[in-house]
Chains A and B, each alone.
Chain A
Amino acid sequence: MKRSYLPVALLLAVLMLNIIVTQYMVHQYFYQNYVNTIVAGIMNLVLFPLAFLIYKKGVNVHD
């Protein structure tokens, strides 16, 4: 059984994006750019279902 590590790499990329977006969000809040803060927050919210989809697709892949 050969496993695919592509989903793992994708999830790691998602986590990296999460970190970047979160820091951007906090900084934009303190720079009082509140629209950017909300955009970054929505990005973070969207990344979670994306991560879940990658997980769902990746669990049963054995090729």
Chain B
Amino acid sequence: MTAKNNKIPYNEDNYTHNINRNNERKLDRRGFMKTLVGAAGVFAVSSLPWGVLAAKELNGLGDKKYPKQKITDVKSLPIGDAVDFHFPGEHDSAILIRLSEEKYVAYQNACTHLRCPVFWKKDEGEMLCPCHHGKFDVETGAPTAGPPRRPLPEIYVKVENGTVYAVGVKRYEA
């Protein structure tokens, strides 16, 4: 009896204290190298989605394509005037403004604050949202006054044979 208690765990039929935990958590050279290789693997796997996204951008899959749509005739739009249209869908109201002989700009005219329609104020040369007096720069669509903080989405326009077409929507950049 005394001999057993002097030595814990004792040898005889020891089923409960037979686990040798010496050096169990020691990180040796080999284990450290394994960790480093694993880290390299994690880096390799984590770079896959970036490559996929970049390839997607290179192939132009990120840009949505819309069929080009006639907005108006050049003759019926004097310099400084604006015309409303819908692009790309029939519920996406937009505005085309003729700034000079050659320069046209078009934006989706839902105000980026609460989506009221934005109007072109010809005599003041700015775009105005009447709901809360938000103002937008006509050259870029950037907000200049009032509550809106984001620019109006720009629509690309093209003039062909005396007709103005809407050809695409600029991608949103935060």
A-B contact count (CB 8 A): 86
Contact of B50 among A25, A50, A52 (CB under 8 A): A25
CB nearest to A50 among chain B residues: B40
Known: A5-B29, A34-B57. A48 touches B50 (CB 8 A): no
B114 to chain A: which residues have CB within 8 Å? Answer: none
Known: A3-B29, A41-B47, A58-B33. A18 touches B54 (CB 8 A): no
Binary contact readout B131-160 vs A (1 if CB under 8 angstroms, 0 otherwise): 000000000000000000000000000000
A residues less than 8 Å from B47 (CB atoms)? 21-22, 25, 40-41, 44-45
Interface string of A19-63 (1 = CB under 8 A from B): 101100110010010110110111011011011101100110000
CA distance A25 to B47 in the complex (A): 8
Within 8 A of A (CB), among B29-65: 29-30, 32-34, 36-37, 39-41, 43-44, 46-48, 50-51, 53-55, 57-58
Are B50 and A55 in contact, CB atoms less than 8 angstroms apart?
Answer: no
Considering only CB atoms and an 8 Å cut-off, how many residues of chain A contact the other chain?
34
Main secondary structure of the interface of A (DSSP, over half): helix
Q: How far is the CA of A45 from the CA of B41 in the complex (A)?
A: 8
B37: contacting residue among A34, A44, A51, CB under 8 A: A51
The answer to whether B33 touches A37 (Cβ under 8 A) is no
For B33, give the chain A residue with the smallest CB separation. A55
A50 to B36, CA, bound (A): 12
Contact B39 A15 (CB under 8 A): yes
A38 B51 Cβ-Cβ under 8 A: yes
User: Residues of B with Cβ closer than 8 Å to A?
Assistant: 29-30, 32-34, 36-37, 39-41, 43-44, 46-48, 50-51, 53-55, 57-58
Which 5 pairs, one residue from A and one from B, show the smallest C-beta to C-beta distance? A41-B51, A51-B40, A37-B54, A48-B44, A44-B47
List, sorted by A's number, 5 A–B pairs whose CB atoms are closer than 8 Å: A11-B40, A15-B39, A25-B50, A29-B53, A41-B51
